[in-house]
Chains A and B, each alone.
Chain A
């Protein structure tokens, strides 16, 4: 391989590495602008976390039913 070919190969590999790093970072870009529905998605995550922690500590849903809007929108008995 001539020096010229080696240089071209080196530049290509380097650019590829830069591109891969760029794409990887792009997925993790942290932005200060939140989505329009951020408040509701945040509430969903917080509710989910609080309920899971309560249950995993052995708590009953009945104990926290006033704090969250639990519903049963389906019936397994067909009623």
Chain B
């Protein structure tokens, strides 16, 4: 198992880490607990998970598996609260959303020890497809309800 990079807390709102190649990544979460507001039986906190390279270009740096190990360590800490739910949306503004989805998938399948469940979605927003994924702990007390609601949010009228 590769060792994760050291997480830095330079402010109250985010984490950072610096790779061997000098790329600086910022990780932050936003509260979207209202995501399931139409499903009143769902009470779990929902957060969007975000990671951005804020210095350096990861595409120009050699592949670095420790980045995945670092994300994994963040997720392990995040899911110490079993009912936490994380949603990851692949930014579609530069048409590289599929590459982002693939990276996220590779990370998940490489590091998931079986305790997490990933549910993938493809939302259509004003004609644009947005890849998104939801992570939740397999012991989440509202697992089934959340997955069903999430699938429904990705559906369009007339789907099925």
Contact = CB atoms under 8 A, between A and B. Distances in A.
Interface in A28-79: 30-38, 40-42, 44-45, 47-49, 51-52, 55-56, 60-62, 65, 68-76
Given A73-B45, A74-B77, A36 B157 contact: yes
B120 to A, nearest CB: 13
B125 A42 contact: yes
A72 B30 contact: no
B101 interface: no
Contacts of A60: 11
A55 to B, nearest CB: 5
B40 interface: no
Q: Chain A interface residue count: which class?
A: 20 to 34
Interface string B53-75: 01000000000000000000010
B125 A72 contact: no
A45 B91 contact: yes
Contacts of B47: 71, 73
A24 B36 CA distance: 34
B78 A35 contact: no
Nearest to A28: B129
Contact of A73 (B7, B81, B127, B157): B81
List the 3 shortest-distance A-B pairs measured between CB atoms, nearest first.
A37-B153, A70-B13, A69-B31
